[in-house]
Structure 1
Amino acid sequence: MDYCQSMYKQLRKVIVKHPNDAFISQEHLQVEWKRYNYIEEPNFAEALLEYEQFLGILREHVEQIVFLPASKDVGLDSLYAHDPVKFTGKGAIILKSGKKLRQNEATVYKKFLQEKNIPIIGELTGEAVADGGDLVWLDDRTLVVGRGYRTNDEAIRQIKEMTKDLVDEFIVIQLPHDQGEAECLHLMSFISMVDHDLAVVHSRLMPVFFRQLLIERGIQLIEVPEEEYHRLGCNVLALAPRVCMMVSENPSTKQQLIDAGATVYEYKGHEISYLGTGGPTCLTSPVIRN
């Protein structure tokens, strides 16, 4: 497969968006942060420093980092490059966010992919809405989709049709209400695949059948404690099998990963991750893994 149908294989090519092009300036953040439901107003200068640390780790492990351009048609959340598309082995699926403020991101992304000659295998139409954070490749042939406030039944129907030749198992997970419609709960909020047999999870939010399925498949579960879940401890980006990146100040999760044989890189993510509820998986759209 040429493109990305995995969450944990060696990351070769990734799409990101720089805070210079998403946050724009402190003045812009001051006007927009409440509208986008950030926890508080991010500090622009600090965000740039944090992002350089984040990029430094990426550059050590990823051959090709591609930057989305600035656009007047999108807002602060475009920093989280994972959500408007999902890659399959044959190319990208263009999604449409369940968060109305983010829906223009798909249009901008589509144009960008076309300019870069990256194939698009499909696009959500009509009433369908879905975020990339609700789609998890459990393995090369198993796609898990979270049905929640950001991803609806019609999107799931369309995605299933688009991927029918690419997957053997298509599993739908009903997501809980949790903190409500305004908050962002994705499937990837409570599971990150770090290897074919290692996942970081917050079990309290997981349906029983799904947790049992992971265990039956021989996947070891790293359990993120409640306080670290709220600091995005469950949001872990695999750079390669058992080589991963996470937001700092999640010591229990980090130690469990190390004990499981993983190498863990950390970045300070208060401004770019915590305040907008988007960890390293949200900041990156993996294009090629092999």
Structure 2
Amino acid sequence: MMPSDIREHILTHDFVMLPGIGAFVAEYSRPYFSETGDIIPGERTLRFNPLLRNDSDVSLLEALRQKHQLSIEEVQDKYFAFLDQVMEDLEKKGEYKWEGLGRLTLKNGEINFEPLAKKVVTESIKREDFPLPDEEQGFPLQEEEDDFQLPEEDEEGSENKTAKYLIFALPLVLLSAALVYMVFFKPSRREVVKEIEPELSLPEEVIIDTLSTDTVTYVNPEEIENYRVDIGIYKREKDAAKIVAFLESKGYRPKVKPHGPLFKVFLPASSEEQARRYVKDVGKLIDDTPVYVRL
């Protein structure tokens, strides 16, 4: 059930992310006319990105849950069983054959996808010719009349129209004048503050407060979290706790947060250089490849 359902979801959606495997992205080429005048529709191809696998596509699990009327826990169990089967075939056979879609292969620790067909065949639309009507079909051409003249307006009607134009144009003139004043002649607030600033200056007398106990707290720039290094998505909380304990034993400070029904383990980083170093060093300690994102 699960492989065919996921295959159908991939073929009917332009972006599908499979946790632990990768993301399928649909791309379309432009339609064109053939030499016989037929419209050749654009071709749909699938592009696979193995790096986008450390996040959970909640929409996929929700679609499977609604289709089969299952609980979210049952859908998760079925998906992880499918994921285990894919990984087992990749490790033992080096490939996973996906009927009706293609096959997944494993090379140098990276998952690749080979589609079954490189393009989707659709029916072409033939262009039809439509004849123009002529005089014999009952559509005679009407000749132009040279004697047509516009009716002359009297002076009173012309004066009324001029007055109406002035009424409508007056607000526009006033608005334009106001905009010119605000842009070119009105002093800015910054200049007004500079002029008033000497009058509001404090006296030179210095008052020393010896009773206050407030202290200034300085923030360490290294503690500001500007980047996040995603380690992985785990089904059970205890599995996430194990990887956290392992990384803490190596001197790192990982964190765990709920990610839908799953649990995400990540490392906060203060700079992109630190995030890149985490990806390189942590990737050597675990079987998965971490991915960093900017917050």
Under a length normalisation based on structure 2, what TM-score does the superposition of the two structures give? 0.18
More helix by share: 2
Larger radius of gyration: 2
Higher relative contact order (CA 8 A, sep 6+): 1
TM-score by length of 1: 0.18
